[in-house]
Structures are given as C-alpha cells and as structure tokens.
Structure 1
C-alpha cells in the first residue's frame, strides 16, 4: 500500500494556551471539503475542550486523565484502530495533544504499531506557539531529568505556527523569538498567525514528516522503552458545579484577582459557565495573567440547548496549585 492509499494524520501540539483548540475550530469551520476525525487529549480529570470545540458533523474523541505521550497511549491506539474499521468515513485524522505532551512518543506510535503502519501515515507535526509567552517557557529551568516540553514541541515540529503575533511589541521582539526557535529547529517552516487563522492547505496534506530527519535528530526516536518524565510540581485542578448558576460579576472579579496574583504559576485556565439570569453559555480562557470572557451571544459558539444539563466546568493547570483554595474561591461565586 502506498502513502497515497493511507489516511494522513496530523499531530497538533504546543504548550498550554498556545491556541491549539482555536486552530482545531478554524480547521473544522473552514471550507476545505475534508472529512476529519479529531482526537483530543486533555491534562486533568475534568474535560473542558469538548465544550470549546465547535459543533460540526466531524467525529471528536476526548481522552482525559493523562498525557497522550505516556499513560494513555494505549487509548490512542485503541481509538485509531476503531477509526480504521470505518476509514471510508473520513479523509484526515487530527490529534490535538495536551500542552504538556512530548510529541515524539505520539509520533512514534505510527512507526512501531504494525496495524497502524498499514493504514495510516504521519503527515506532519504542527507546533503552535504563543508569541507572548514562548520565551519565558523556553527559558524555564526544569528539575533534573525533566524535559522542557516547549523545547521538545519545537524540536520535533515540521511546521511551527507562531501564533498571537499581534501581542509582540516590536519587530525586534519577533526577530529575537524567531532566532530562539531557529536555535532549536532550523528546518521547520514558520507561519505567523493571529487567533490561529491559517491557510488549511499549508498545514494539512503536506507530507512534511520525515522519519530519516527525525532519526538524525533523535537516534532513540523508535525506542519504545524511553520514558517521558513530567514536572511533578505541575498539576491540574478541575471543578464542576452542577446544581447552581454562577454570579458573573463575582466570578470575573475573582478570576482577575487570582490571575493577577498567581498568574505566573497558572499556565492555563479555561471553563464553560452556567451564568445566573441568562440562557447564554459563557466561556473563559486564561493564559498566565491574560484572561478573556465571552458569551454565546457573540455568535462564536452555541448557547445552552433546550434540554441540555447546565454544568459549570473549569480547569486550572499550573505549578503548586492549592485545590481547596481554588474550589472554595470558585464556589463562593455561585449566585
């Protein structure tokens, strides 16, 4: 079977808050005529991304409770094998990893599993980077033996989406950032973007992954016994409120205070909210100290369905998080 007879797979990776889910939404709503299956991996016990992805006819699978590059990789293989039993139903598979994933073990899956090798080929590893926060993430000093995920994600990229380019203050800042990226990966094409908006033809069906080039960079790429060690100080706290609505004024004030004081350690925050006094669904997205609140009234996503259970779900991912403090603070904002 030639590559043209196989189904292409794109791995979308990038650190927390870089814009991966926004890119997935852009792909799902663009007019490209492709039938796409999405596999999402979240870091944490409460899934939020399934509610942030736009509703389409495409198939979406979500994997929680672990990083796709290690503890739930068998789940990935199981889902892919399930998809292969219906491979005529779609043209492309997209895997969106958690922001804490090393993409190498995910990519390795398509070369060491004999069944998957028969039906799938790795089209590209696409790394989305947050122009505003990338330097800080690259410069972070990790404990001994722990990988810097941002470095690994750039190193294995076939294409790099330099996102949120509008948040850079000058051309000099951009040049400095590109120089840092190039010191890690000299071969990957860099595409600049705002809100992850890119030409779909530049990222899907591009046949950019090269096993030879990857082995040249990492001779142990196909070693299935290699371990990916996470920074154990980085955890997630997920909170659900199913029996009450939130006071949006209290909640915004609490979130802004929390992120202004703890934002350096809170890498990513996001949530879907049931707000008192309205049928609109609210969504908040935070990256370090930056936060955005939006509602379904703006037309970017759907409101609550007529018979849909209204549950507020939030997740915080960061360093040395205090679960009881976050839970009590969030629940104090119940209307």
Structure 2
C-alpha cells in the first residue's frame, strides 16, 4: 500500500528473532510472531525521511510499513503520498527493496488485519503515527486485541528535531508538550538534524531527554539515516530488555523517571493490587473530584500521571516481568537467571515518590 507525508515513512523486512518469553510472542502453531515497532515524533521531526529511507534503501530487511495518512493533526501535516508517482494506494504495495507499505485514513488495526493475509512476506511491522498522536494508545492495542495475537509490541521509537527542540519547550510555556509525552513513552529516541546544532547543544538536549526518560536509548542522526538494527528487534517489552539506568539528572520537566527497588519477595497478588491502585484508583479518584471540572487532565493540576511502567520482580512462584502503558499493564512469568536486582521503573508526569513508595512498599533506587 502506500505511505503518507505526515512526517513519517516506511520500513523493510528481516527474519526477526522473537524473544522467547514475551507474552504472545509465539503463535499457537509454533511459528514466530512478528515484532511491531511504533514510530512517533513531533511535527517536523523527520519521520517521513526515516520511512522514505526504509522504503528505498537496499538494507536487506523485509518490513511492512503502515502510515497514518489522516487523523489527529493531519490538517497541520498536509498528508501526501510517497514514492510511486502521485498515486495514493489503499492496498498494500510491494516496494523494489522487498518492503511493503500502506497508507491508512483511519484505524491502523484494519490495515494490520489485511497485512496478516500476506504472512510470510515480511518479518517486521512498522507503524507510523501522526505528529500529534499518542503512541501509547496504539501500544495498548497489542495487549487487548485478540485479533492481533500473531503480533507483539517490540518497541516505541520517538524522533526529535534537534534544531527546534528547545524552541518547542519554550513555546509550551511550562505545560507538558506532546513531544515530552512521546519521549516518555519511547524505548529509543532518535535525535535528528544533528548537522544543524553544535556539540554543546547536543549534550544539553541529551540531558533533557534523559531527565524525562532515563531508561531510553538515544541515537543521533542526520536526515534520519540510521542503522535499522538499533530500532528493530530491540525486544524492549521482553525479558531480554536491559536493567534501567540509575543515572540521575537535573529534572526541569514535569515528566521524569523514578526507579524503585526492593529486597523483599512479594506476592503477585500484592503487586497487582499496588499497580491497580496507582494506575486505576488514583486516576478514578481524580476523575470524580472537583478538579476535573476545571482541568483537562491530572497533569494540569499537578496530579501524578503514569505514562510508562516496566520492571522485573520476584514472587514466591518465580520472577515476573511487568510492562505498562498508561492505565494498562501486563504481567508475564520469566526466568530470573540474569536479573541483577528487582526493580520497577515509572515514567510520568509529576511523579510522587512518597506515594510510589507508600503503595508499592518499595524504595527509590
């Protein structure tokens, strides 16, 4: 199918090594499931350049790319077609380098279901979002939609415009920006347009990114040209994911990272109860309060809002891996042979460390 010009492009295919202990990573017929990467980024960050590179370069990977041609923010981005004259396709189009691409005007899930009819012709799925979209909403889909059981979320990649990075925050006037939310949810952040800034600015932006999300990997690019192995098959939601960084930075953003740890072996039911309290009951409490009448969200009133959750904990029955996006989380049993310590990582707005310690019975690392 086709690719859109909403600032993102499409990728290619490769036989993906599926993580052995990811929930839903292997189909019932023992054939490996396909990893899905979500590509997001604020307006003008370079998503279209990245997708164009993926669709046209001879990188040897078989990638199926889905581009949101219309949707939230589309009026700003002036969507268009990529690569094949002036035509706009609503069917999957096979590129000369072996990649598949498609532009969608509404729900990407329908395009994915159509794509699965071509099973065997691709090894990765890449979904591009519009510049103002929330990648968390798409990420949650792979935990609740049984029709997508042959796919699993591999990672979220956020592109940032290095040249306009600081300006984006200045224009926000202290409010949490979509760019910050996208960084908070990212497993990999691509700092693009590196040729337009100096090393001092680069270092300052990197510290800003790490202050928002200290557990993400930062890659640096010009014209969005990148080694695809750094963003595909990264297994960010698998037991193979590395432990979180414990480096602290001066946090000027409302969004930050808090890493919790414990030496206590907790019951799985107690862990689930604590997470439900933080992700559901705290949010419900806010929604039913008078604050909601005067504010759009918890973060507007300084309330804690957890955007991303991940970690590995030990229970009496064994080790478990926890992955969460916004108000949804998933728990998977894993092997604990190479896990250095128990941990939970929270990334969110106005994180309340006292509240996190009180509910989880853990301590800030």
Which is helix-richer, 1 or 2? Answer: 1
Distance 2:47 2:57 in 1: 15
Q: Figure out how many residues of one structure are paired with residues of the other and give that number.
A: 210
Which of 136, 144, 154 in structure 1 is aligned with 2:183? 154
Whether the 8 Å CA contact 2:161–2:192 is kept in 1: the answer is yes
Q: Secondary structure at the match of 1:78?
A: helix
Q: Which residue of 1 aligns with 2:328?
A: 222
Whether the 8 Å CA contact 1:36–1:91 is kept in 2: the answer is yes
Distance 2:222 2:161 in 1: 10
Which of 134, 137, 140 in structure 1 is aligned with 2:165? 134
CA 221–215 in structure 1, closer or farther in 2 if over 3 Å, else same: farther
In the alignment, does 2:62 pair up with 1:35?
yes
Q: Which residue of 1 aligns with 2:291?
A: none
Deviation at 1:208, TM superposition (A): 2.0
Runs of 4+ more than 6 Å apart:
none
* TM-score, with structure 2 as normaliser: 0.52
Whether the 8 Å CA contact 1:104–1:221 is kept in 2: the answer is no
In structure 1, the gaps of 5 or more residues are 65-71, 224-335
Give runs of aligned pairs for residues 228-307 of structure 1, distance below 5 A.
none
Distance 2:191 2:84 in 1: 21
CA 38–179 in structure 1, closer or farther in 2 if over 3 Å, else same: same
Deviation at 1:135, TM superposition (A): 1.5
Which of 148, 154, 177 in structure 1 is aligned with 2:205? 177
* TM-score, with structure 1 as normaliser: 0.56
In structure 2, the gaps of 5 or more residues are 1-23, 86-93, 245-307, 311-322, 330-365
Which of 214, 219, 224 in structure 2 is aligned with 1:196? 224
Distance 1:25 1:134 in 2: 22
Distance 1:52 1:154 in 2: 29
In the alignment, does 2:124 pair up with 1:96?
no
Q: Which residue of 1 aligns with 2:237?
A: 209
Whether the 8 Å CA contact 1:38–1:61 is kept in 2: the answer is yes
In the alignment, does 2:122 pair up with 1:63?
no
Q: Secondary structure at the match of 2:108?
A: helix
Root-mean-square deviation (CA, aligned residues, Å) is 2.9
Q: Secondary structure at the match of 1:205?
A: coil
Deviation at 1:163, TM superposition (A): 0.5
In the alignment, does 2:261 pair up with 1:167?
no
